[in-house]
Amino acid sequence: MNDYLSTLTLEAPLDRDGLRRLAIHACLDLHQVRWLRSFVAMDGKRMLCWYQARDAESVRLVLRQQGSAGAGVWPVAVTDVAGSESLDSSVGCMVVELPLSSPDADEVASLTAGISAALRGSGAVLRRTFLSSRDARLMGVVEAGNPGTVVERLDAAGILTASLWECAAFDPRPPKLFESHAASKVRELDRDAESFGAAAPVAASEWFDAIVIGAGLSGMCALERFTRMGLSVRVFESGSDVGGVWYWNRYPGARVDSEVHTYGFSFSDELIRDWNWQELFAAQPEISGYLRHVADRFDLRRHIQFDTRVASAAYDDHHACWMIETDTGERARARYLIMAAGTLSAPQLPDYPGMRDFTGESCHTADWPESGIDLRGKRVGVVGTGASGVQVIQTIAAEVDHLTVFQRTPTYCIPQRNRPLTEADLRRIREDWGQILKTCRESYGGFIHTFDPRSGLRVSAEEREAKFEELWRKSGFAFWFGNFADLMMNSEVNSHACEFLRNKIRARVHDPDTARKLLPDHPFGTKRVPLECGYYETYNRSNVTLVDLRETPIERVTPSGILTSRQAHPLDVIVYATGFDAGTGSITRIDVRGADGVSLEDKWRDGPTTFLGLLVSGFPNLFIVNGPHNAAALCNAGRCIDQNVDWIARCIERMCGQGIRRVVPAPAAEAEWTQHVYDVAEASVLAAMKNSWFFGANTPGKPQRVNIYAAGASEYRKQCEAVANSGFTGLEFS
């Protein structure tokens, strides 16, 4: 490490808080720049900063982030003058600038000795010198004393000074955001522990600027961004590795439904360049591998505590911080709490009587054992035909002895048309990367598919049918998000699409009665659309039976299988592909308590209320990356997570930059956004079918309120941008 100095011109007088705020932007971790000491002139117009860094460019990067791009940086040799102790920042000091005729060691030594001798008996002491050989200057830090006397004494000794400024010395380290990080504050808080009902004290090492819950896509994205901002971050993850849903959903056939290159992280061009995706729609092992690679490559693991579930989080209004407690009683505090626990991650099992009595093996798709389940030659029952059920069913049908599918609501599945990615594909992706991101950013769902701007009613029936056929032959969500612009807003257009897809099912399934059971009757897109690969043909197999639970409901699970109102189905394995407590489940399963001790679960008892789906009134400094009321649920998760993390980071940057301790949405702004979310849903085809997790209908006892922002990802982005660009209107900062 080398020593560097820079002189910054200050726009406004800088106090200790202002200095600390600058330090936040130093991103010391990232650039490995240690900002050791600053000397701020009493007139508030300039500041001399001393850094240690690998090279001057690293310091310049830091200065650019502080908004001081023009400041000069020069290498210096630092000498602590013999006998001096470290500078006491509470004592005033002076910076004396002296020109040198030749910066050789002898001249510097004699000048330093001369200054010390001249000041002897004046009350002032030369503490440290910075020698800049390049421009032949010596900067001396003189502690205590009177500036007039110092000038007089140096003059009398024939020592020429170029300038002398009276200043205050500040130690900006460690670059923590808040006073409350200091050990003394920690002790004070621990005396205050009854507010958390806590027994064990919190060690200083358990203080962070931000706590992130979850190390899936959103937690990793937030972690990477926050550490780059210079925040100290601790991520708590219940799994034993990174990945979130990709860690837990290890069931056979688990596969992403976004074109995978549009799904991954966008924060590193090198990552885009170096990582070679194998398939257009990658399977779970490949995505897990990618996420593990990112964690290693960007050194994220050291901030993550695995195998740890956060049980509670309480806001301490007095100290403006969150305190979390894990299920093993560990505690940690942070100014910001980031919910990154996923929107479809709280698995939901049905509550059929007798489930515990089943003597075979059973599990939820999102809790699949790491060692797998051997399904070969077994009688397997799959309950649920959403995206997970469809993937399991089409994957295992050929290997099991018999597969019984228990279907409650049929859904429209569209062909995924997966394929390997070739060298040429990867080259094209890298060349077009900027455009791909732009398209995703501007599209309804954050995917690479964009709506046809025409109305589906403005074209002839033949043209419409031809368009549907063309889209159906494409891969991914082309049929959903590349369709006519009014597909999701006009029920007539939507009903044409439904009939087209029903005809496809009729044509693919041989047995008319089975085909009939598979025909959905709700509007297309009002339930998340599964992507399939031979799913409908699975029902043509002789070892597959479809049970329609609307005709013959499940009565109970027995020790040997499932009993419906019509018959017993003997089974060796039951797979519950029954979905999630969507949107709110992963958040309210944690006991989150806001400023006045009210629990978030209670606040959301009649349905979630949020501002932009990112903040909740009464819960200061709580940010939700992907929960209810934002676009993430309908969206290509990678892209929407990017955008949400970016917005949150900007908000936190503003708080750090202005010394703000607390942010919370105004109740009126929250009410307005929540109403807007409802209004958009009511105006769309979603209103015609509320029996879905979009409305929380799949979770017993949950109020039926829309969870998602149906105007789409691009509109959502615009709304968020507008709020941020207007100085975060709707938020109350204090």
Q: Is 350 in the site for ligand NA7 (CB under 6 A)?
A: yes
Looking at beta carbons only, is 227 or 698 nearer to ligand NA7? Answer: 698
Q: Is 344 in the site for ligand NA7 (CB under 6 A)?
A: yes
Binding residue for ligand NA7 (CB under 6 A) from 98, 497, 577, 663?
Answer: 577
Binding residue for ligand NA7 (CB under 6 A) from 387, 664, 681, 731?
Answer: 387
Longest dimension (CA), the chain: 110
Binding residue for ligand NA7 (CB under 6 A) from 538, 578, 617, 684?
Answer: 578
Looking at beta carbons only, is 405 or 421 nearer to ligand NA7? Answer: 405
In 349-412, alpha helices (H): 387-396
Give the nearest distance from C-beta 307 to ligand NA7 in angstroms: 24
CA distances from 78 to 4, 108, 140, 164 (A): 9, 11, 10, 19
Give the nearest distance from C-beta 592 to ligand NA7 in angstroms: 23
Interstrand relation of 304-305 and 137-143 (parallel, antiparallel or unpaired): unpaired
Distance CA 480, CA 31 (A): 44
Distance CA 593, CA 601 (A): 9
Helix axes 423-431, 433-442, angle to 10 degrees: 70
Looking at beta carbons only, is 252 or 386 nearer to ligand NA7? Answer: 386
Tell me the number of residues near ligand NA7 by CB under 6 A: 20
Phi then psi for residue 663, to 5 deg, are -135, 140
Q: For ligand NA7, which stretch binds (CB under 6 A), given 128-136, 325-333, 384-392, 610-618? A: 384-392
Distance CA 388, CA 193 (A): 44
Residues 393-452 that bind ligand NA7 (CB under 6 A): 406, 408-409
Give the nearest distance from C-beta 616 to ligand NA7 in angstroms: 24
- Cα-based angle 126, 131, 136 (whole degrees, multiple of 5): 120
Looking at beta carbons only, is 100 or 349 nearer to ligand NA7? Answer: 349
Looking at beta carbons only, is 247 or 673 nearer to ligand NA7? Answer: 247
Looking at beta carbons only, is 549 or 666 nearer to ligand NA7? Answer: 549
**CB distance 582 to 344 below 8 Å:** yes
| H or E stretch at 501 | helix 491-508
The strand pairing partners of 562, in sequence order, are 557, 569
DSSP state letter for 411? -
Looking at beta carbons only, is 141 or 634 nearer to ligand NA7? Answer: 634
Looking at beta carbons only, is 335 or 528 nearer to ligand NA7? Answer: 528
DSSP state letter for 87? P
Give the nearest distance from C-beta 571 to ligand NA7 in angstroms: 15
Binding residue for ligand NA7 (CB under 6 A) from 230, 252, 386, 608?
Answer: 386
The strand pairing partners of 558, in sequence order, are 561
**CB distance 474 to 417 below 8 Å:** yes
Give the nearest distance from C-beta 551 to ligand NA7 in angstroms: 13
Looking at beta carbons only, is 523 or 665 nearer to ligand NA7? Answer: 523
Distance CA 3, CA 63 (A): 15
Closest CA to 365 of 379, 345, 351: 345
Residues 640-679 that bind ligand NA7 (CB under 6 A): none
x/- site string to ligand NA7, residues 240 to 279, per CB under 6 A?
----------------------------------------
Phi then psi for residue 497, to 5 deg, are -65, -40
Q: For ligand NA7, which stretch binds (CB under 6 A), given 303-311, 423-431, 467-475, 573-581? A: 573-581
x/- site string to ligand NA7, residues 524 to 563, per CB under 6 A?
----x--------------------x--------------
Looking at beta carbons only, is 206 or 257 nearer to ligand NA7? Answer: 257
Interstrand relation of 77-80 and 125-132 (parallel, antiparallel or unpaired): antiparallel
Residue bearing tokens 């997966």: 418
Give the nearest distance from C-beta 408 to ligand NA7 in angstroms: 3
Distance CA 186, CA 333 (A): 10
Give the nearest distance from C-beta 364 to ligand NA7 in angstroms: 9
Looking at beta carbons only, is 578 or 643 nearer to ligand NA7? Answer: 578
Give the nearest distance from C-beta 380 to ligand NA7 in angstroms: 16
**CB distance 623 to 614 below 8 Å:** yes
**CB distance 345 to 580 below 8 Å:** yes
Q: How far apart are the first and last CA of the chain?
A: 39
Residues 6+ apart with CB under 8 A from 154: 96, 115, 118, 119, 161
Give the nearest distance from C-beta 57 to ligand NA7 in angstroms: 44
**CB distance 15 to 82 below 8 Å:** no
Give the nearest distance from C-beta 411 to ligand NA7 in angstroms: 7
Give the nearest distance from C-beta 712 to ligand NA7 in angstroms: 16
Query: Helix or strand or coil: residue 401?
Result: coil
Q: Is 584 in the site for ligand NA7 (CB under 6 A)?
A: no
Binding residue for ligand NA7 (CB under 6 A) from 38, 308, 388, 588?
Answer: 388
Binding residue for ligand NA7 (CB under 6 A) from 693, 694, 695, 728?
Answer: 693
Give the nearest distance from C-beta 633 to ligand NA7 in angstroms: 8
Residues in the chain: 734
Q: For ligand NA7, which stretch binds (CB under 6 A), given 153-161, 200-208, 276-284, 383-391? A: 383-391
Closest residue (Cβ) to ligand NA7?
Answer: 386
Give the nearest distance from C-beta 575 to ligand NA7 in angstroms: 11
Q: Which two tokens stand for residue 366?
A: 């999102």
Give the nearest distance from C-beta 352 to ligand NA7 in angstroms: 7
| Rg of the chain over all Cα atoms, to the nearest angstrom | 31
Give the nearest distance from C-beta 697 to ligand NA7 in angstroms: 7
The strand pairing partners of 339, in sequence order, are 213, 624
Distance CA 215, CA 219 (A): 4
Binding residue for ligand NA7 (CB under 6 A) from 698, 710, 713, 716?
Answer: 698
Residue bearing tokens 């490490």: 1
Interface residues with ligand NA7 (CB under 6 A)? 344, 350, 365, 383-389, 406, 408-409, 528, 549, 577-579, 693, 698
